[in-house]
Amino acid sequence: MEARVVAVLAVVALAVVTFMALREWQGRVRLERAAGATSGNDAEAAVVALRERAVTAELETALIRNDQSDFVRALELGVMIVDEDLRIVGANPAAHTLLGVAPGSLPGRTLIGAFITVHAESLARTALAVGSATEEILVAGVDGPRLVLRARRVPSGGLWLVVEDVSELRRLQQIRAEFIDNLSHELRTPLTTVSLLAETLTREADAAGDAIPPRMRDRIDKIEVETGHLVQMVTELLDLSRIESGATLGVVDLIDIGRVATDSTERLRLFAERQGIVLHVEVDQGLPRVRGDEDRLGPVIVNLLHNAVKFSADGGEVVVAAQATDSDVIVSVADHGAGIPRAAQARIFERFYKVDRARFRGGTGGTGLGLAISRHIVEQHGGRIWVESTEGVGSTFSFSLPIAPPPP
């Protein structure tokens, strides 16, 4: 019989024996207590009661520990306990399966020995230093499984390491990205032609003056506007799939993101004024530089501003601000517009997600892709993007970028 099964049976037998002994002992203690009470020996009875509680608590803890180890053994996620010297102390069966090693062979190995890559060890060192760390690694070359490792420091000194196989998930994500990419490429050429034809038609209708009935002119205008949206959607889809498929950033330079924010605001000032919205810039002077691709970060700010204007009421104002913390520069765009319901706030950075398709200015709208693209770009720069919003009061979208380290 397998050693693990024997061990489990031994633990269960021990628990049963301990439990029965405790029951018998509890009975004896009760009798003793009764005797003690009648003889008036209160102090002795109190000590006995205390001891009884201590033994019960110990037994309960042992049973809970048993339940927990059964649970960890049954998990499909790999779970390992690693000591401070980065040596594996314990591992459940799933951890052995995920790493393709014989059952029971992980305890005693080092992390490098188990994962055959230095990434697991450097992740563990980071977690020991800062509390927790997560990384995706490829085991045994490009054809090996893709594992996500989550390490968390435990108070006793070592680490818990949770291992998850995401190979299938990543394969499906790649198929989806390729599908969207191919479809967008196929759609782009005919759509661009239709859009140009619609533009020409609109110009010709304008030139024809009263010869074109107003209803027909109205329809031609609508065709032009909707075709423009389709072209924008296809362009954004292509952008998104390019970014998602791991396209690297263009020219990465030391940039003054405050200046990029100011320039982007100026680009949108006329558009905002036409909608009756005033733009304000509150950028701190002398901001530290960040490392980034200005051609990617500029459009992020333009997109946030565009949304802020789109979802503001006439006469509203939008404030673009940039300031530094100890580690980051934070750019924010605040409006006093429609706001976003709490439940939707976690979802608006997903592709195609729109809060309420009827809320757009003029009844026409965007693609629901802008924030998904913005999130990817910010994360590519090692930053983070988030929103704070109250429905009916307004929204503030912010993103942070790490301050570039000083040159050596």
* Interacting span for ligand ADP (CB under 6 A) from 41-49, 216-224, 265-273, 364-372: 364-372
Rounded to a whole number of angstroms, the minimum distance from the CB of residue 177 to ligand ADP is 18
Q: Tell me which residue of 123, 170, 115, 121 sits closest to 141, measured CA to CA.
A: 115
Residue type (1 letter), 160: W
239 binds ligand ADP (CB under 6 A): no
Rounded to a whole number of angstroms, the minimum distance from the CB of residue 15 to ligand ADP is 55
C-alpha distances in angstroms, 294 versus 115, 250, 289?
Answer: 38, 9, 12
Rounded distance between C-alpha atoms, residue 223 and residue 229, angstroms? 10
77, 83, 84, 87: CA torsion to nearest 10: -90
338 binds ligand ADP (CB under 6 A): yes
Nearer to ligand ADP (CB atom), residue 92 or residue 195: 195
| Total residues at interface with ligand ADP (CB under 6 A) | 21
368 binds ligand ADP (CB under 6 A): yes
318 binds ligand ADP (CB under 6 A): no
Rounded to a whole number of angstroms, the minimum distance from the CB of residue 315 to ligand ADP is 16
Rounded to a whole number of angstroms, the minimum distance from the CB of residue 269 to ligand ADP is 17
Rounded to a whole number of angstroms, the minimum distance from the CB of residue 341 to ligand ADP is 9
Nearer to ligand ADP (CB atom), residue 18 or residue 398: 398
Rounded to a whole number of angstroms, the minimum distance from the CB of residue 359 to ligand ADP is 7
Nearer to ligand ADP (CB atom), residue 120 or residue 333: 333
* Interacting span for ligand ADP (CB under 6 A) from 93-101, 163-171, 239-247, 369-377: 369-377
Strands (E), 247-289: 253-255, 278-283
355 binds ligand ADP (CB under 6 A): yes
Rounded to a whole number of angstroms, the minimum distance from the CB of residue 219 to ligand ADP is 24
29 binds ligand ADP (CB under 6 A): no
Nearer to ligand ADP (CB atom), residue 28 or residue 342: 342
316 binds ligand ADP (CB under 6 A): no
Rounded distance between C-alpha atoms, residue 109 and residue 90, angstroms? 10
332 binds ligand ADP (CB under 6 A): no
Helix, strand, or coil (residue 50): helix
Rounded distance between C-alpha atoms, residue 197 and residue 203, angstroms? 10
Query: Which one of residues 95, 151, 321, 340 is an interface residue with ligand ADP (CB under 6 A)?
Result: 340
Cα torsion angle, 177, 181, 183, 188, sign: positive
Q: Tell me which residue of 377, 380, 254, 226 sits closest to 304, measured CA to CA.
A: 377
Q: Tell me which residue of 291, 312, 313, 303 sits closest to 397, measured CA to CA.
A: 303
User: Residue 120 in contact with residue 114, Cβ under 8 Å?
Assistant: yes
Q: What's the token pair of residue 27?
A: 């009975």
244 binds ligand ADP (CB under 6 A): no
237 binds ligand ADP (CB under 6 A): no
User: Could you give the angle at the alpha carbon of 271 between the alpha carbons of 333 and 233, nearest 5°?
Assistant: 80
Query: Which one of residues 78, 224, 311, 321 is an interface residue with ligand ADP (CB under 6 A)?
Result: 311
User: Residue 99 in contact with residue 144, Cβ under 8 Å?
Assistant: no
Rounded distance between C-alpha atoms, residue 186 and residue 188, angstroms? 6
Rounded distance between C-alpha atoms, residue 36 and residue 45, angstroms? 6
User: Residue 158 in contact with residue 84, Cβ under 8 Å?
Assistant: yes
Nearer to ligand ADP (CB atom), residue 260 or residue 308: 308
- What is the residue whose two structure tokens read 């009916």? 392
Sequence-separated (6 or more) residues with CB below 8 Å from residue 161: 78, 79, 80, 81, 82, 120, 124, 149, 150, 151
Nearer to ligand ADP (CB atom), residue 78 or residue 337: 337
* Interacting span for ligand ADP (CB under 6 A) from 103-111, 211-219, 265-273, 370-378: 370-378
Rounded to a whole number of angstroms, the minimum distance from the CB of residue 308 to ligand ADP is 5
Residues 376 to 405 in contact with ligand ADP, rule: CB under 6 A: 395
Query: Which one of residues 170, 365, 386, 404 is an interface residue with ligand ADP (CB under 6 A)?
Result: 365
Tell me which residues touch ligand ADP (CB under 6 A): 303, 307-308, 311, 335, 337-338, 340, 348, 353-355, 365-372, 395
